[in-house]
Structure 1
C-alpha cells in the first residue's frame, strides 16, 4: 500500500487479483497481422485467470495465433489510481467441460452480438502499481 512518502507502489499479486475482480472492463493487448492491437473487453476473474467472450473476428484469431498476450485493468479517482497487467497465454476453450466452467462466471456480452467463444488467459506474470496523484504545482 501507499506509505505517504511514495507516489507509486508495487502491489502484491493477491491485491492485483482483488482489484481486477472488482472490475469488469479490461484491455486485451495482442498482435494482428504483425501489428499491436488493443481490444476493450468485458471479463471475469476465475481461478486466478481471466475469462472473456468474443465473436468470430480479429480478437479470436489473434488469441489463437498469438497466444502470448497482455491484459490490463485499471481504475482511478481524484486522489489515486491503480493499474494491473497480466502477462499470459490465451487459449480458446473448446471442450464442453471447459466452457461449462467458464459459464459459471455469469459473463454476458455487453452488446447484443453473438459472442459464443470463450477465451481464458492463464497468467505467467501479474504485476500492479498504485499511484498517489501528486497535486503539488510544478515550478516553472
Structure 2
C-alpha cells in the first residue's frame, strides 16, 4: 500500500470494533459457479466470528456450508469523503449443535426476515483486513480513530 493513497490500514482489533457498530454487511460466495453478493444483518461472536441467522431452507445455506466466503461491511460519509471497510475471509459452517443454537438465539441479532426454522451460519475469520479512507478526514460518531 502506498503511503499517500488516501487509505490507512486497520488492525484486527479496530476492524472488529468497527464491524460491531453496523448492523448490515455483505456475504460474498459462489452460486452456480459465479460470484454472488447478498446483503445480510449479522452479529459478531466473542471470538470475532461473523454469525448470520437465516432460513434453514435458504439457497444461501446450501451454497456456503463448508465453503470459503468473504464478508464485507463498511460505513461511509459521502459529504466528507471518509469512511472504512472491513473484509473477513474464512470458512462458513451451519451451526448444528443444539446448545450452540440456543446460545446464538440469545446472543445474536434477530433476522430482519424472520422465519419458522432458522439456522445460524458462522464464518470463522481466517483473514481480516480493513482500511479507512482518510482523504476527507475522520467521520464523527462512527468509532474511527481520533
Same fold (TM over 0.5): yes
Question: Residue 114 of structure 1: CA displacement?
Answer: 3.7
Report 1:90-105 matches (<5 A).
90-105=92-107
CA distance 1:124–1:112, shift in 2 (3 Å): closer
Distance in 2 between residues matched to 1:44 and 1:115, nearest whole Å: 19
Q: Which runs of structure 1 show a deviation greater than 4 angstroms over 4 or more consecutive aligned residues?
A: none
Specify every segment of 5 or more residues in structure 2 that has no aligned partner in the other structure, as ranges: 138-146
Question: Residue 101 of structure 1: CA displacement?
Answer: 2.2
User: Does the 8 A contact of 1:10 with 1:128 survive in 2?
Assistant: yes
User: Does the 8 A contact of 2:42 with 2:108 survive in 1?
Assistant: no
Report 1:1-140 matches (<5 A).
7-47=6-46, 48-55=48-55, 56-64=57-65, 67-77=67-77, 78-79=79-80, 80-114=82-116, 116-133=118-135
| Residue range with higher mean Cα deviation, 125-134 or 11-20 | 125-134
Aligned length: 131
Specify every segment of 5 or more residues in structure 1 that has no aligned partner in the other structure, as ranges: 136-140
Instruction: Report the TM-score when normalising by structure 2.
Output: 0.82
| CA shift digits 1:106-137 (9 cap, x unpaired) | 421113444511111110010000002459xx
| CA shift digits 1:86-122 (9 cap, x unpaired) | 0011000001121122123242111344451111111
User: Does the 8 A contact of 1:30 with 1:69 survive in 2?
Assistant: yes
